[in-house]
Amino acid sequence: MNPPSVEAGARTVTLVTATYGPDLERFALQRESIERCGVMLPHVAIVHTEDVATFREIPFRQNLTILATAEVLPAAIERRRRRGPRDLRRLSPTRWFGGKTIHGWYTQQLVKLAAADVVRTEGYVCLDADVFLCGPLSDADFFAADGRLHLYETVEDLDVEMVEWLVDSMRFLGIGLRQKPAARYIHHPLPMHRRVVLELQAYVEARFHRPWAEAMADASVTEAMTYGAYARHLHAGRLVAPTLPSTCLYYWWPEQLATMDADFRRRVAESQARAVLVQSNLSVPVKAYRHLAEAAWTRDGAR
């Protein structure tokens, strides 16, 4: 079965969410936020195959297409995905002889790059399931005045671990490290140029003489840093424009979450954020902050 695609068009984007069962509640809030904020962009959710039926039962499905990872990922990668104990008992032991198992979080990284084979818009914007919207978004938010898609790049918020991820990606791509500035390309939402991603895939396959997803998985390089390094240093910015991100407010650390009730409205107003990330690794249920999302929708006159 061929995955459905959206219509091609200049300066247009598709929202893409890579997700799975444990993030169902977060994804449901994301979908509601998209409709409450009046966002009409097409949205493709790529869900672990065993979780698709559950995701198709959620409300707020306007402009939403749900695909299984089996429809998007290369078959060899789909076989290597780590699944729950019930699924593992039903699978043949031969599943384990195709390379190391790929965990859910890394599967989602590969899905974001594989999405270039599914969407047909010039760009797509990766929206992790733990992001909800608090204001409107449109195609124009992700393009520079000269028509290039934004490449979100920052230099002031790097930590040692992020620098290590960038170095790993640059070495993986064969980019020399000398006299190259360190930059962070891990941002939310994350715009990606479809043609740049397809060229990245082809470049990796030519360099390693094997499928791009298998090469990346075995090297354990991150999707955002690898895409950013390729777009910046090898693609030379022909289709993307390095840009400071301005759309998302982060609750990334426990100490930030502890003050969320008290400072959410102020931080949204000061930053003019239209998206909020509540890091899923903090294991906070959606009901703990849903009222803040609802207040933001009401403020903006959302539906």
Which of 208, 227, 245 finishes a domain?
245
One domain, residues 119 and 82: yes
Q: What pLDDT score does 4 carry?
A: 45
Quick one: 137 and 271 in the same domain?
yes
Q: Are residues 215 and 237 in the same domain?
A: yes
pLDDT at 100: 79
Do 208 and 292 belong to one domain? no
Q: Do 17 and 99 lie in a common domain?
A: yes
Contact 15/42 with Cβ under 8 angstroms?
Answer: yes
- Note the pLDDT tens digit of each residue in 201-219: 999 999 999 999 999 999 9
Q: Mean pLDDT in runs of 10 for the chain (303 residues)?
A: 47 96 97 97 97 96 97 94 52 46 91 97 97 96 96 93 96 94 95 97 98 96 97 90 93 94 94 94 94 84 49
Tens of pLDDT, residues 250-278: 999 999 999 999 999 999 999 999 999 99
Q: Are residues 291 and 259 in the same domain?
A: yes
User: Which helix or strand (DSSP H or E) is residue 248 part of?
Assistant: strand 248-251
Structural domain containing residue 102: 1-142+246-303
pLDDT value of position 86: 42
> Residue 3's pLDDT is what?
44
> Do 205 and 273 fall into the same domain?
no
d(C-alpha 300, C-alpha 293), whole Å: 11
Domain total in the chain:
2
The CB-side HSE value for 144 (13 A sphere, CA atoms) comes to 16
Rounded to whole angstroms, how far apart are CA atoms 39 and 59? 15
Residues 179, 284, single domain; the answer is no
Residue 100 token pair = 């190391």
216 and 256 part of one domain:
no
Q: How far apart are CA 250 and CA 253, in angstroms?
A: 9
Segment holding 131, helix H or strand E: strand 131-133
Q: 234 with 281, same domain?
A: no
